[in-house]
A and B are shown apart, each in its own frame.
Chain A
Amino acid sequence: MAQAISPPEVLDDKAPGRDRYSSDAAGLGRLRAGVFVAPALLLIAAFLVFPALWVLYLGLTNYRLTGAAAAEPRFVGLDNFLDAIANPTFWNSTWLTVQFVLGSAVIGQVVLGFTIAWLLRDRRGPLKRLVEGLVILAWILPSAVVSFLWVALLDRDGGTLNALLGIPGFPWLLDHPMLSIIIFNTWRGTAFSMMLYGAALGNVPPSHLESARLAGASGWQQLRDVVFPHIRGHILTNLLLISLWTFNDFSPFLLTAGGPDGRSEVLAVHVYKVALQSGELGYGAAVSTIILLINLVVAVFYLRLLRSKK
Chain B
Amino acid sequence: MAMRKIAVVLAATGLGLAACGQSSGGGNGDTIELTITQNAIAGGKNAAAAGFVANWVIPKFEAAQKAKGKDVKVKFVPSGVDDEQYKTKLSLDLKSGKGADVIDIDGIWAGEFAQAGYIKPLADVVGPEAESWDGWSQIPESVQGLATYEGKKYALPIGTDGRVLYFNKTLFGKAGLPADWQPKSWQEIIDAGTKLKSSGVPVPIQINAGTAMGEATSMQGVLPLLAGAGGQVQQDGKWTGASQALKDALGLYQKIYGGGLGDPKLQQEAKGRDKSFQQFAEGKIGILMEGDYFWRGVVNPKDGVAPMDDRDQNVGYALIPAIEPGKGIRGQDFVSMSGGALRTVNPNSKHPKEAFELLAFTLSPEALKEETKDGNVRITPRTDVNKEILAGQPLLTFISEKVLPLTAYRPPVAVYPQVSVALQEATAAVVGGTAPDQAAADYQKKLEGIVGGAGNIAS
Contact = CB atoms under 8 A, between A and B. Distances in A.
Nearest to A256: B270
Interface string A55-67: 1001000011111
Q: Is chain A's binding surface mostly helix, strand, loop or mixed? A: helix
Interface stretch (B12-20, B32-40, B161-169, B176-184): B12-20
A11 interface: no
A209 B115 CA distance: 71
Contacts of A54: 6-7, 10-11, 14
A93 to B, nearest CB: 15
A279 interface: yes
A250 B268 contact: no
Interface string A76-110: 00000000000000000000000000000000000
A181 interface: no
B435 interface: no
A65 B95 contact: yes
B90 to A, nearest CB: 10
A81 to B, nearest CB: 16
Contacts of B124: none
A279 B91 contact: yes
B254 to A, nearest CB: 16
Find the residue from B112, B418, B421 having the highest chain A CB count within 10 A: B112
B88 interface: yes
Given A65-B88, A66-B109, A67-B115, A55 B10 contact: yes
Contact of B116 (A70, A268, A275): A70
A257 B270 contact: yes
A67 B16 contact: no
Contacts of A63: 7, 11
A69 B243 CA distance: 30
Interface in B86-101: 88, 91-92, 95
A285 B15 contact: yes
A281 interface: yes
A265 B246 CA distance: 28
A97 B423 CA distance: 27
A54 B6 CA distance: 10
A173 B95 CA distance: 35
Interface in B153-197: none
B11 A66 contact: no
A27 interface: no
Interface string A241-257: 00000001010000011
B91 A65 contact: yes
Find the residue from B15, B16, B211, B415 having the highest chain A CB count within 10 A: B15
Contacts of B417: 66
Given A54-B14, A66-B109, A71 B270 contact: no
A260 B268 contact: yes
A261 B432 contact: yes
Find the residue from B14, B116, B414, B418 having the highest chain A CB count within 10 A: B14
Contact of B95 (A70, A157, A272, A285): A70
Contact of A66 (B17, B113, B269): B113
A259 B270 contact: yes
Interface string A17-45: 00000000000000000000000000000
Contacts of B16: 248, 250, 268, 271-272
A171 interface: yes
Contact of B115 (A68, A259, A285, A288): A68
Contacts of A179: none
Interface string B235-276: 000000000000000000000000000000100111000010
- Nearest first, the 6 A-B pairs at minimum CB distance are A260-B268, A70-B116, A66-B112, A257-B270, A55-B14, A67-B112
Interface of B: 6-7, 10-11, 13-17, 84, 88, 91-92, 95, 109, 111-113, 115-118, 210-212, 265, 268-270, 275, 414-415, 417-418, 421, 428-429, 432
28 contacts: A51-B14, A52-B14, A54-B6, A54-B14, A55-B15, A58-B11, A65-B92, A65-B95, A66-B113, A66-B115, A66-B118, A67-B111, A67-B116, A71-B116, A157-B275, A174-B269, A259-B212, A260-B210, A260-B268, A260-B432, A261-B210, A272-B15, A272-B17, A275-B11, A276-B92, A278-B418, A281-B15, A284-B15
Given A54-B7, A260-B210, 14 more contacts: A55-B14, A58-B7, A58-B11, A63-B7, A66-B115, A68-B116, A71-B117, A259-B211, A260-B269, A275-B11, A275-B15, A276-B92, A278-B421, A285-B11
